[in-house]
Structure 1
């Protein structure tokens, strides 16, 4: 009988990463998320309104759905290819560099789009490029970061998603307000942000995994629980955010739903960024991961349930803060948990790519779940379901046995 040694069980003798490496990673990851989230949250909606004013919701939904499908397929495939890449620049950097160029080309294509078809084509190209960048960057963490630092680095990595969303919103709403110019700005930021990471000192651990952590790759029960946990929590967050504007206008009846949504989003983002950094460091010091992930799902669930029970502005602000704290803690420590249960250091990119499906699929499935719930129970019912989904997702991580 062959015994499989997971990355969590093998001795970890790798040197710690320094602040410079972490800073370069943070800048690159922030640029990637800005290039992804800014079009998804702002630019594509504006463009759909220009190309199909009467059917803007359908065109936007099609673009986002196709983009999510591309991500779900491309990240595992490109991650698997990067696992087998051998070059003087390492396994991951060539894919980060090439993916950035492709994504920039897609964003420039979106800037010059003259109709719905060219808009969809530009977004597909952008998603393909960003899938390569994501596959390379995310796999770099278990490649390079020793376990005692996983929480800290994963905390910074989790923070970049929210930081990218925030900076992107400021970029296209305040600094570069033109639709085409906004896409060009996103392309420039994405390209510039990866340069420090690509130009950093090459390390042997970029090239091949440590022999002590090599193992026969196989999915285990722990990996299954980790995947299901991420899927449910991300589904809960998608349900909270996708219907926030309609909740504020139709259920709470605020005077300016768009402005209110911006305030709610800002509170959520800032709380999530602070929580991700704090939870990641705290989990390293405590030597425990699962409790932080479970608490993250619980906090998100509490916030959603508060929105269901009391549709009032002060409650919404408080709920946004609680959801942000929970989601930030989840983003940070969940990545550390996943990195710890991967069965093989040789297939890190492939396995982490499969987890990208758990993050992308909820964006497609959230409307399919929300529409019938809204028809039967309205927004209170939707946010009750959302709260239960998030809590269940956080609780599933407690079934993982190979991580404290």
Structure 2
């Protein structure tokens, strides 16, 4: 990789790849646990009361994650140090994850989940802000492409740790913790990022790169709208597919989901590199949001299972690429370098808020208009995200 592009010094390839590996470690930390290991443990402990307990625990954990992400992002801003917070969060979250093997009561599950979410976000919030400190605008598209590995890594880790005969239930928790350590530690020990000048709206580096007011709000709203669509599909996809074909199994849905995550990686890498080469950071975002809207409309009018799956794959690929690239390009529009961690914590609300919105949206639409009505509404959200981003498609 050249040391400069367009007069802007570039970050080393080694740091970019090790950073992407660390972000994948963050996904490994929560995806297998929240989607498989925690529900399994709650069911074994609570029996018929598992749904209620899981709902209470998940809600408390989401609130803790939202607050602690902002808090630790702000703390890493104030101390002007990211690595110590990342390391402390890595150690504490892994220890707390392993401790779930010893819980025996509902209250202990909720309290430990809250503590784990706090520790996890002690790692995740400064880790996200670190990219803004070290990766220049000329590489943010490439960074976004590399971040697309994280969802696939999280899903793959879930398949690995639950492989039959590999590990007992309690051992699976420690196996996840080990994978997280193996992914996050290298960038802390040998990442050694180059010292590069990072532009900011404050103008400390480049006064000419001020961004128009309102772009932060546009990026926040666009991500929220796409996240609401993805969260609704994630929660109710199986129910919808079974309404078309009652023989559809959860294993088949998982296979489709896995194909989407794998397919999104090369697409995100290609789109990110294109955005960097042509200095069009927001064009791929607008195209992905628009494609997601088209996929949802295909799903709304699907006459059969084949068209339904095709529409979902179109939506899923577009949404996955969008979210990966958006995470990196958000760093471009944040107004103040000195509050980058806190501001990213506020952006993180777009990841947690949809879980509070989608159940009510589904209950309001599906009983009266079926899944067709829901998908049309979600397509409108994705189309609105497209409109918000089109005006940002040209660099300032």
Query: TM-score scaled to structure 1, two decimals?
Result: 0.87
Aligned pair partner of 1:298 in 267, 290, 295: 290
Matched positions, count: 388
1:246 aligns with 2:239: yes
Residue of structure 2 equivalent to 1:339: 331
Aligned pair partner of 1:197 in 171, 177, 187: 187
Residue of structure 2 equivalent to 1:53: 47
Contact 1:297 1:395 in 2 (8 A): no
Cα gap change, 1:176/1:132 in structure 2, threshold over 3 Å: closer, same or farther? farther
**Whole-Å separation in 1 of the counterparts to 2:292 and 2:158:** 24
Tell me whether 171-180 or 354-363 shows the greater mean CA deviation: 171-180
Tell me whether 197-206 or 274-283 shows the greater mean CA deviation: 197-206
Aligned pair partner of 1:350 in 342, 362, 365: 342
Unmatched 5+ stretches in structure 1: 1-10
Contact 1:225 1:399 in 2 (8 A): no
Shift of 1:186: 1.1
Shift of 1:262: 1.0
**Whole-Å separation in 2 of the counterparts to 1:331 and 1:175:** 35
Contact 2:280 2:394 in 1 (8 A): no
Contact 1:248 1:257 in 2 (8 A): no
Q: Deviations over 1:75-118 (max 9, x none)?
A: 111111101224xxxx1111110111121122112222223222
Q: Tell me, what secondary structure is at the counterpart of 2:18?
A: helix
Mapping of 1:322-401 within 5 angstroms? Answer: 322-400=314-392
Q: Deviations over 1:32-56 (max 9, x none)?
A: 1011111121122212222233233
**Whole-Å separation in 2 of the counterparts to 1:59 and 1:357:** 23
Cα gap change, 1:219/1:399 in structure 2, threshold over 3 Å: closer, same or farther? closer
Residue of structure 2 equivalent to 1:5: none
Q: Tell me, what secondary structure is at the counterpart of 1:254?
A: coil
Contact 2:9 2:197 in 1 (8 A): no
1:110 aligns with 2:110: no
Shift of 1:20: 1.3
Tell me whether 375-384 or 130-139 shows the greater mean CA deviation: 375-384
**Whole-Å separation in 1 of the counterparts to 2:197 and 2:286:** 34
Tell me whether 364-373 or 311-320 shows the greater mean CA deviation: 311-320
Tell me whether 121-130 or 28-37 shows the greater mean CA deviation: 121-130
Shift of 1:373: 1.5
Tell me whether 121-130 or 31-40 shows the greater mean CA deviation: 121-130
**Whole-Å separation in 1 of the counterparts to 2:370 and 2:42:** 27
Query: TM-score scaled to structure 2, two decimals?
Result: 0.89
Shift of 1:288: 0.7
The two structures, once aligned, show a CA RMSD in angstroms of: 2.8
Residue of structure 2 equivalent to 1:30: 24
Unmatched 5+ stretches in structure 2: none
**Whole-Å separation in 1 of the counterparts to 2:317 and 2:267:** 5
1:142 aligns with 2:135: no
**Whole-Å separation in 2 of the counterparts to 1:36 and 1:85:** 26
**Whole-Å separation in 2 of the counterparts to 1:359 and 1:267:** 22
**Whole-Å separation in 1 of the counterparts to 2:359 and 2:73:** 28
Q: Tell me, what secondary structure is at the counterpart of 1:212?
A: coil
Cα gap change, 1:385/1:209 in structure 2, threshold over 3 Å: closer, same or farther? closer
Shift of 1:58: 2.4
**Whole-Å separation in 1 of the counterparts to 2:165 and 2:176:** 12
